[in-house]
Amino acid sequence: MTETNQQAAPSAINETSAMRIRRSRFDRLRILLSRAPLTAWFGMIVVTIYMIAAVFAPWLAPYGEAEIFAKADDVYSKEHWLGTDQIGRDVLTRLLFGARNTVGIALGTTLLSFLIGGGLGLIAAIDRGWIDQVFSRGIDVLMAIPSLIFALMLLAIFDSSIIGLILIIGVLDATRVFRLTRSVSLNIVVMDYVEAARLRGENMGWIMTREILPNILPPLIAEFGLRFIFVFLTIAALSFLGMGVQPPTADWGSMVRENARWITYVPYFPFQEAMFYALKPLLPAGCIALLTIAVNFIVDWFLHETSGLRDV
């Protein structure tokens, strides 16, 4: 058009816009951490300790995972800081290996459930047609059955090997991940940039992983933390019922069960010994509770940071 208009229009480069300060990833992390509340710090420290215990269990533990000593049901001593269990294995060693097994299995299971549930959820959200219907109704059926009972039944049919455990709980847990992924994706699928990608001729994989996934990541990560805890509790519960991790593999759920009987005997002991015997089931139970709380603290903080809600 005309020259007069050209000079009247300001250069597009200088239009006002909110420029973010360029920061390295390290700087951003530092700022984020400096704002973290005490609860989040508590959670992060606890989780770090658990990680170290899980990864370095064979080196940290004083004895072997299944090593048996002469004296069973021993109280604490120099050799066995937390005593020995009913067949004479070192309790501290069992707790450390328990961290590795229980946390490891829970992590594997959660990853699997996110892979299945997340993938199917994304496909359903993009399709919104009959595939969505088939998946959603199928998931509804699975969710209609109480999951712990369903898991017990499946574990009874197949064997309760560690792989079997991961597969069964992973699939059952994927139902909830599916629902979440599908519902948050539905808000993204209707965006113009997804339509633009479809018009460009992009395939399903690109739209799923590049256009939608990065935008639904925050709620999914938060959900990952929570699902991890639920899986962890499910495995502990199954082990407590005797269908989970099988001996001699150490695991906190089984340890609670094996030592649960001591609770009933507590009143018959003198006070100091009573405390010790009460501690036997409470120690592994406490380990489960502590991790649960710690992860929840971190998830709460993360949700608060990513939801965009700010206390002003």
Partner 1 sequence: MSEAAKTHSPLLLDMKNICIEGFADERWHPIIKGVDLQLNRGEVLGLIGESGAGKSTLGKAAMGYTQPGCRITAGEIWFDGQDLAQAKTREKRDIWGTRISYVAQSAAASFNPAHRLLEQTIRASKRQGERNDAELRRDAIELFDALNLPEPETIGQRYPHQVSGGQLQRVMTAMAMSSRPDLIIFDEPTTALDVTTQVEVLASIRNIVSQFNTAAIYITHDLAVVAQMADRIKVLRYGEEVEQADTRTMLSDPQEDYTKSLWSVRSLEKPEDASDDVLLSIDNIDAAYGTAKVLHDVSIKLPRGRTVAVVGESGSGKSTTARVITGLLPQSNGTVTFNGKKLPPKLSSRSKEQLRRIQMIYQMADTAMNPRQTVGQIIGRPLEFYLGLRGKDQERRVIELLEMIELDASFYDRLPDELSGGQKQRICIARALAAEPDMIICDEVTSALDQIVQEGILNLLQRLQNEFGIAYLFITHDIATVRAISDEIVVMWQGKVVEQGMKNEILSPPHPAYSQLLLSSVPEMDPDWLNNLLEQRETEGDGVIKAQD
Site of interaction with partner 1 (CB under 8 A): 1, 4-6, 8-13, 15-21, 31, 191-193, 195-196, 198-202, 210-211, 214-215, 310, 312
Six-digit token string for 224: 């990952």
- The smaller minimum CB distance to partner 1, of residues 193 and 265, is found at 193
Q: How far is the CB of 124 from partner 1 (least distance, A)?
A: 18
- The smaller minimum CB distance to partner 1, of residues 17 and 264, is found at 17
- The smaller minimum CB distance to partner 1, of residues 9 and 149, is found at 9
- The smaller minimum CB distance to partner 1, of residues 15 and 146, is found at 15
- The smaller minimum CB distance to partner 1, of residues 140 and 195, is found at 195
Q: How many CA atoms lie within 13 A of 286 on its CB side?
A: 7
Q: How far is the CB of 18 from partner 1 (least distance, A)?
A: 6
Cβ neighbors of 53 (< 8 A, separation 6 or more) are: 60, 96, 99, 100
Angle at 33 between CA 32 and CA 37, to 5 degrees: 105
CB-CB contact of 257 with 239 (8 Å): yes
Six-digit token string for 169: 């709980």
Q: How far is the CB of 125 from partner 1 (least distance, A)?
A: 16
Q: How far is the CB of 156 from partner 1 (least distance, A)?
A: 45
Q: How far is the CB of 312 from partner 1 (least distance, A)?
A: 5
Q: How far is the CB of 14 from partner 1 (least distance, A)?
A: 10
Q: How far is the CB of 277 from partner 1 (least distance, A)?
A: 54
- The smaller minimum CB distance to partner 1, of residues 146 and 192, is found at 192
Six-digit token string for 300: 């709460």
- The smaller minimum CB distance to partner 1, of residues 86 and 187, is found at 187
